[in-house]
Amino acid sequence: MFPRMVLLVACLACAALALDDSGFAYFEVSLGGHYASYSIKTESFTHWYHDTERDEMVYDEDLTYDIFSFEGGGPMLGVQAGFSPGERFVFLLDFGLFVSIGDSRYKLYSRDKDEYAETEIMVRPLFGFGLKVFPFTSKNSALYGLFAGTTLSFMWSDNQWENYGMEYCDFDVGFKVEAGKLWSISEYYLVGFTLTAGFHVTAAGPNNEEYGDDRFRIGENPKRDPVDEWNNFHLGLSLTAASKLF
């Protein structure tokens, strides 16, 4: 542990020594609105469905179960902090909070006629780290302040799965991309807007095997991994205030 800490500290020291006069610390706050959609389901592995109305078993190659979907929107808050070793690039940490109001739909099997709908408010935090690029550095240019960025991000879900006997991991992994324009209002401060889009996938597991608890039981959710797809999407537009501290 100690050598790793020494190495880490040495790397940070080297990075700090490598900074030239053009380096700056970056801080940004964004407040705006977003649209969000979320869906998750598990693919059947036996593909047999009990049609209780006709009381017969039906084989369906596309059978899925534990189906959840959400569509809505609401306010979003974003905070970014980082540093730039030069003028164009900012390495940053990204924190976000999404409050999404919309309709959730829960369905036990894809062939079920019954579907449960609820109006829900989901509060979902986001954490990420990544890179932001300011390609135009000349303050005389009209394009000064244009930026684009991307972060590797992690998002926590918030819903009522448990009320319907569904068990999924509440942790999503993905990436966020953003682009926008900032205008200087003083030597250190800028304001503008940011357009963001996030794509996340529910993290696999923890399933039964990872727990080492795969004993045969009835009356309990099998907790298999969901269909692997980009199931968590958001699109946002926000007003942004940023500061470059040299």
Contact residues for another protein, defined by CB under 8 A: 44-46, 48, 50, 55-57, 65-66, 108-109, 165, 208-209, 214-223
Nearer Cβ to another protein (67/242): 67
> Cis before residue 206, ω within 30 degrees of 0?
yes
- DSSP state, 189? E
- State the minimum distance, in angstroms, from the CB of residue 157 to another protein: 20
Q: Is 52 left (phi over 0), alpha (psi -120 to 50) or beta?
A: alpha
- Which of residues 108 and 237 has its CB atom nearest to another protein in the complex? 108
> In terms of CB distance, is 44 or 202 closer to another protein?
44
Provide the minimum distance between the beta carbon of 67 and another protein in the complex, in angstroms, as a whole number: 11
* Phi and psi, residue 17, nearest 5°: -65, -30
Q: Measuring CA to CA, which residue among 238, 242, 241, 191 is closest to residue 97?
A: 238
The three-class DSSP label of residue 77 is strand
Which CB atom, from 66 or from 158, has the smaller least distance to another protein?
66
| φ, ψ at 84 (rounded to 5°) | -125, 125
Q: Which residues of 75-97 are buried (b: 16+ CB within 10 A; e: fewer)?
A: ebbbebebbbbeeebbebebebe
Nearest to another protein of 24, 65 (CB atom): 65
Q: How far is the CB of 105 from another protein (least distance, A)?
A: 17
Residue 171 CB, shortest distance to another protein, in Å, is 22
- What is d(CA 99, CA 51) in angstroms, rounded to the nearest whole number? 38
CB of 41 to another protein, least distance (A): 12
